[in-house]
Amino acid sequence: MTSTPVGIHDLSFATTHYALDHGVLAERLGVDPDKFYLGIGQEMMSVAAADEDIVTIAAAAAKPILDRHGVDNIRTVLLATESGVDQSKAAGLYLHPLIGLPNTARVVELKQACYGGTAGLQFAAGLIARDPSQRVLVIAADIAKYELDTPGEPTQGAAAVAMLVSANPAILELEPHSGIYSADIMDFWRPNYRTAAMVDGKTSVNAYQKATQEAWTDYRRNGGRDLTEFAAFCYHQPFTKMAFKAHRHLLESQGHTAEPAEIDAALHNTTIYNRTVGNSYTASLYLGLASLLDHTGDLTGQALAFISYGSGSVAEFFSGTVQPGYREHLRTEENRDAIATRVALDYDRYRVLHETESPSDGMYHAIPEETGRPFRLAAISGHKRIYESR
C-alpha cells in the first residue's frame, strides 16, 4: 500500500524587534569576544521588547502562511513553546483575533523543552495520514532567557517558525523512519515560579550528545538511511557550536573519521540564521532548516537529517526529502529581512528588559509601544493579556 506523502508545505520565520551584539556583551562582561564568536559560535541574539512575547512572534510567523494559503481545512493548530504566557490557556488561542484562525480548528499547546516543535510536526503528520484533506498549522515559538552574568546568558535568543503541514507538501516530505531516545535527566528545566531557565551546562552538552547517538541508533534500527546518504544535517542549535560538537560525536561513535571540512559542508548552511538569532528553543531546529534552504543551491530530491533535542530529555532523529520546485515556495527575502531589520539594543536597556517582571496585581497596565513588528502586547488588565495589531 502506498501512503500519501506528508510534510512541510510552507515555512515562515519571525523574530523580535531587538538584537544584542555579542561583541557588546563580551565587552561588558570582560570576556574575550572570540569565546562567543568562535567558542560557542554566536554573533548576536534576538531580544524581545517589553511589548513582545511568544504570542506576538508566533502571530508574525504564522500570518504570512495564512495570507498565502488561506485557512480552509486547517483543522488543528499546534503551538510548541517552553516560554508560554499562561499555565492553562493555549497560546495559540490568542492568535484567533490577531491573524484570523478558523474556529473549526482544535488549538493545543505542546511542551517538552526544545523538542516540542518536533512533537507538533510528528503529531501533524499522523493527523494528516488519517485524513489527507486536512492541514495542520504547527508553530514553534520561544524566547530563551537565562540569568544575567551566567554561562547561559550568551546563549539566549528568540524566534518563531510556523509550518503548514499537509499532504503532497511543496517543500519537504517527511520520511516514515524515526528514532527516539527519552530519559529523565535534570540538565535544563524551569520551575513554574521562575522566568529564567535553570541549567547544568556541562551535563546538558553531554546529555545532548548521548541522546543524539541513541536516537540515531533507534532510527537505524527502524530502517532509516545510512549516515552517508544525507546532503545535510539540521540539528537543534542552543548555540551553533553545539551542532558541530554533536555531529562530530555522532560520526566518531559510528567509526567515521570526522574531518572538519566534511562536518562544515554538512552543517554550515544550517547555522547561518541561528548564529545571529541565538537559541530559539523549539524553533531552533526549523530555523536551521530555513537557513539551509535559503543558503544552499538546488537540493531537490536530497535527503536531509533532523536531530531534535529537548532537555529533560527527549531526542528524535528523523529524515525528509526536498521536493521538486521547493525554491519557488521559500521566503528567503522575508527571512533575511526579519533578521536585518532588528534594532541594535544597548546593554543598559537590555539589562532593564531582562529584569522587568510582568505585573501580577491584576490592575490595568498599559505597555508603551516599543516593537516595530506587526503584533504587540498592548496591556495587561485583570490578569488578562491584551494584544493588538500594529
Summarize as ranges the residues that interact with ligand CAA (CB under 6 A).
32, 34-35, 38-40, 114, 151-152, 155, 187-188, 199, 201-202, 204-205, 208, 236, 238-239, 242, 279, 281, 309, 311
CA 378 to chain centre: 25
Active-site annotation holder among 114, 214, 249, 370: 114
- Name which of 198 and 353 has its Cβ closer to ligand CAA: 198
Active-site annotation holder among 17, 22, 236, 249: 236
- Name which of 134 and 308 has its Cβ closer to ligand CAA: 308
**Buried/exposed code over 25-36 (b: 16+ C-beta within 10 A; e: otherwise):** bbeebeeebeeb
- Name which of 195 and 222 has its Cβ closer to ligand CAA: 195
**Buried/exposed code over 119-151 (b: 16+ C-beta within 10 A; e: otherwise):** bbbbbbbebbeeebebbbbbbbbbbbbbeeeee
- Name which of 86 and 147 has its Cβ closer to ligand CAA: 147
DSSP state of 36: I
DSSP state of 326: G
CA angle in degrees (0–180, nearest 5) for 14-10-49:
10
- Name which of 6 and 110 has its Cβ closer to ligand CAA: 110
C-alpha R_g of the chain? 20
The least distance separating ligand CAA from the CB of residue 244, rounded to whole angstroms, comes to 9
The least distance separating ligand CAA from the CB of residue 74, rounded to whole angstroms, comes to 29
Active-site annotation holder among 82, 214, 316, 370: 82
DSSP state of 383: T
Cα–Cα distance, 382 to 372 (Å, whole number)? 26
Residue with the shortest CB distance to ligand CAA: 39
CA distance to 60, 77, 283, 371, per residue, from 15 (Å): 8, 20, 10, 11
Catalytic residue status for 354:
no
Catalytic residue status for 82:
yes
Cα–Cα distance, 167 to 76 (Å, whole number)? 14
Amino acid sitting at position 285:
L
C-alpha cell at position 235: 540539528
Catalytic residue status for 114:
yes
Catalytic residues: 82, 114, 236
